Every structure is written in C-alpha cells, then in structure tokens.
Amino acid sequence: MRWTTGHRSENVEDVRSRSGGRLVRRGVPIGLGGLLLLVALSFLTGQDFLSLVGGPGAPDEVMVPGGAAPTGPPAATTAEEERAVDMVHATLDDLQESWASELGGRYEPARLVLFRDAIESACGFAESATGPFYCPGDRKVYLDVGFFDELRSRFGAPGDFAQAYVIAHEVGHHVQHVLGIEARVRQLQQARPSQAKTLSVQMELQADCLAGAWARSANRYVSLEAGDIEAGLQAAAAIGDDRIQRMAGRRVSPDSFTHGSSAQRVEAFRSGLAGRAAACGLSASAP
C-alpha cells in the first residue's frame, strides 16, 4: 500500500507522550488486542477468560490514572513506529473523504487518538491490550500503534493494508454511529436480550463490510498495490471468533461469537469490495 508521505490529518490527536494508569476491567467489551490477551491468559491458565468478552457498548472500566504528559510523540520512538503513524494520518483522511463523498452532509468527521499504554475516553478508560476501539461518546477512534506488531507477529496478518483495514473497521463503527445504526442496535439489544450477541456480530460484520467499501474507493491519500486486498482478507480471517477460540484451545462455540467467524468476516469484507456501501445495508434500519 502506498500513501502520501508526510501528510498530517487535523483529526489525529497524538498523545503517545502521555503516561497511562492502571486499568481494572469489569466484564467489558474488548477490542482486537484484548482478544489476543484473553487468548494468552486462557492458554496459560486453563481458565475461560474469553467468556469475559461482552457485547458492544461503552466500556465499563475503572482506572487508577497516572500523571499526564505533554501532547505529542514520545521521546522513545522508532522509525518503524513513525512510518506507521504516517500511514495512520493518510489512511484516516482517505477514509473520511471517501465517506463524506458517499454520504454527503450526513457524514461528520471522526477523530483518531494515538496513545500508548492507557487512555481515558468518554467511554471510560482503556489500555493498549484493549486494542483499537471506537467510542461513540466522543466520536473518536483510539489506537495504540503497538497493536500493529501484535497483528503481524501473533495473528499472522502482516502488511500495511492489514493495518489500514483495522482503522477502516473502526471508522466503520463511526459511520454506524452518525447514521443512527448503532443507537438502533442498542435499543434492539435492550428490547431483545436473547438476541444481543447476534446483533453485536451483525454490527461488527457491517463494519467489516464498510472497510471493504472504502478499500474499493481508496485513491486520495492512499493507493492500493498488488496483494493489498489479500492482506485485508487475511487480516479479516485472522481475527475471526472461531480462529481465536481455537488459538485458546477451546471448542468453537458460535453462540459466544462477538465479531463473527473468519469466513463471515472475509465474506463481509468481500461484499463491501464488490458493491460499496449499498452492499453493507446502510439504508436498512439495522445492520
């Protein structure tokens, strides 16, 4: 994947220099990196930590915060990390221009927060192990770029576009929020508790579809090269619930899925690639 080198988005907040705190979690929704942490804990202890994963919603977390530091990149950074940050800036703006073109005045830009260790959001506190997440309370995507190393080394999904896919998925949740889809899903979950997990999976798969819809049109600050689509499909397959359960040595249990199987996530991404936003059901009352 190629991108406009040195591009800086006005919607990126780089707070990597801020020190974090100590997070205490109470059965919360979890991001991609958090799933990895639970896999490792389950494998090492033999306990089912994956059952702690909840459905979608605002995180329910408590943190004993540390002190704050000035905004900006940390002193201890690397050329590789800064290259990833460069990609994040370009990818975010390409995503947002694509969705503004697709949705017109209905779209409102999201902001993306780059952090290290731990962060406070309108949804509560989170640490790097939570993985990338979108908070509807402040309309921000939160990302510790260290997750990209985990995506490559632990999940076996290397490449720049695999990383861009993760950002596109989270911005997909922002699209759901600004169009009112996320709010309608929450209402349905409250009205039909027995369908809460199914609705969660549907919303996650729609975000995968929206990531594919963007990939079809990416061309302003980001341009795709040979092999990029395959990298996106590999990333989608790598973080399927069934694969994660197998990594933890567990029996595959579709009833406990929160994001969808590898096959479902790949199919959702392909649907977006094939038909843009309309294929993702944006006009429907729910994903």
Residue 21 burial (10 A CB sphere; 0-12, 13-18, 19+): middle
Q: Report helix, strand or coil for 260.
A: coil
Phi and psi (nearest 5°) for 111? Answer: -115, 155
pLDDT tens, position by position, 155-189: 778 889 999 999 999 999 999 999 999 999 999 99
| pLDDT of res. 34 | 53
| pLDDT of res. 106 | 93
pLDDT tens, position by position, 90-119: 999 999 999 999 999 999 999 999 998 889
| pLDDT of res. 260 | 72
Between CA 82 and CA 64 the distance in angstroms is: 29
Mean per-residue pLDDT over the chain, rounded: 78
- State which of 187-196, 213-222, 268-277 shows the largest mean pLDDT: 187-196
The Cα diameter of the chain in Å comes to: 51
pLDDT tens, position by position, 229-255: 888 888 877 766 555 455 455 554 555
For residue 88, give the nearest of 153, 158, 208, 5 by alpha carbon. Answer: 5
238 vs 61: which has the higher pLDDT: 238
pTM, two decimals, is: 0.78
